[in-house]
Amino acid sequence: MSRPIFDLTGRRAVVTGASRGIGQTIALALAEAGADVAVTARALGNLDETRSLVEASGQRCIALAQDVADVENCRAVIGQAAEALGGLDILVNNAGVESVRPSLEVDEALWDGIVSTNLKGAFFCAQAAGRIMAGAQGGAIVNLCSLTSFVGIPTAVPYGASKSGLLGVTHALAAEWAGHGIRVNAIAPGYFRTAMTEVFYQDEAWQGQMLAKIPQRRFGEQADVAGVAVFLCSDASAYVTGHCIPVDGGYLASI
């Protein structure tokens, strides 16, 4: 074997929503595996830490401001990233938003804000990347789905709808783009304590109830996602497309 199958040396990656949390962790994991990485977030200044971490790993990092809810901006930024990196081999659609609200109180603005970012934005980023990859030698796209892609979570209807839709996008694009050499997969993180989910973790009773449902009896840590992301972006998963890997400590398997 001329090169380890998890090696990403020479690959060019874009990670959206990479200013913190899981997105930052994935960007760094790809860099540590050898990829040059373009990272995006709505505010360019929020990417300073991620860029420093990637560059400290020895890889090139491009930071770009991006609003994934804006389709034209999606297209422009993906194109800009590919131009700066000299091509595009990997896209990780991580950018996402959530707002906890009882379904009887969900209004149109909340629905549109979540679905436009989590579903529409992910699709159009994938489309922009797919156009580049199809004209080259293919590539790998990884979408960040959720446990709500599989099960219903109270007070998370718009979020669940967007993530269920993203799982459908993953399946459909994998089937359609396989002939272009483009693999499309997803990761469904379980219960991870991030800035977006912190509101849940303020409730100690909720924490106890959730831990009792997770066979490994712990919440996810950022590093738990890193290896799965590298796997799905590397030659190690060359015959894997159209799948979503839950990283959930056994939660889905036990319900």
Whether 201 is catalytic is no
**Residue 7: inside a domain:** no
Domains contained in the chain, number:
1
Query: Which domain CATH number covers 62?
Result: 3.40.50.720
**Residue 1: inside a domain:** no
pLDDT at 3: 66
Choice among 159, 191, 201, 251 that is catalytic:
159
pLDDT at 155: 92
pLDDT at 147: 96
**Residue 194: inside a domain:** yes
In whole angstroms, give the CA distance from residue 151 to residue 24.
26
Task: Write out the residue range of the structural domain in which residue 214 sits.
Answer: 12-254
pLDDT at 203: 87
Divide the 255 residues of the chain into consecutive groups of 10 and give the mean pLDDT of each group.
Answer: 83 98 97 98 97 98 98 98 98 95 97 98 98 96 98 95 98 98 98 82 90 96 95 98 98 94
**Residue 3: inside a domain:** no
Q: What is the pTM of this model?
A: 0.96
pLDDT at 200: 79
Helical residues (DSSP H) of the chain, grouped into ranges? 21-32, 48-56, 71-85, 108-115, 121-134, 157-177, 198-201, 204-213, 223-233
**Residue 25: inside a domain:** yes
**Residue 6: inside a domain:** no
pLDDT at 1: 43
CA quadruple 240, 243, 247, 253: dihedral, nearest 10: -120
In whole angstroms, give the CA distance from residue 118 to residue 253.
25
- Which DSSP string corresponds to 143-205? EE--GGGTS--TT-HHHHHHHHHHHHHHHHHHHHHGGGTEEEEEEEE-SB--TTTHHHHT-HH
